[in-house]
């Protein structure tokens, strides 16, 4: 069983969450080229190692947050960050 460390609810079963995907900065909608949008939407890094991911706590606090996971060991680094804070946006 994989325990996901929600910043609001604490560690919970992964079945309580939705995996959103790799966390990366969204391109500027007014300046991005079609190739930049394609890369943002469809091209994933999928490394065997440390990866920043966005998760959604659908059975608990219903908040998005970003955390770092070692995909090779399937372990999370602490502490998780709210999605807006991790992207450098104001909450």
Write out the residues near Zn ion by the rule CB under 5 A: 6, 8-9, 57, 60-61
Nearest to 17 by CA among 54, 58, 45: 58
Neighbours of 27 (CB within 10 A): 15
Q: Which residue lies nearer to Zn ion by CB, 58 or 75? A: 58
User: CB of 8: closest distance to Zn ion in angstroms?
Assistant: 4
User: CB of 22: closest distance to Zn ion in angstroms?
Assistant: 20
Q: Which residue lies nearer to Zn ion by CB, 27 or 60? A: 60
- Separation CA 5–CA 47 (nearest Å): 21
């Amino acid at each position: 069983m994989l325990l996901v460390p929600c910043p609001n609810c604490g560690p919970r079963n992964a079945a309580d969450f939705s995996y959103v995907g790799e966390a990366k900065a969204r391109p500027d909608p007014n300046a991005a080229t079609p190739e930049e949008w394609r890369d943002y939407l469809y091209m994933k890094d999928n490394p065997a190692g440390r990866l920043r991911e966005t998760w959604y706590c659908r059975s608990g606090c219903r908040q998005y947050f970003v955390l770092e996971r070692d995909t090779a060991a399937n372990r999370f680094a602490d502490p998780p960050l709210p999605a807006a804070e991790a992207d450098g946006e104001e909450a």
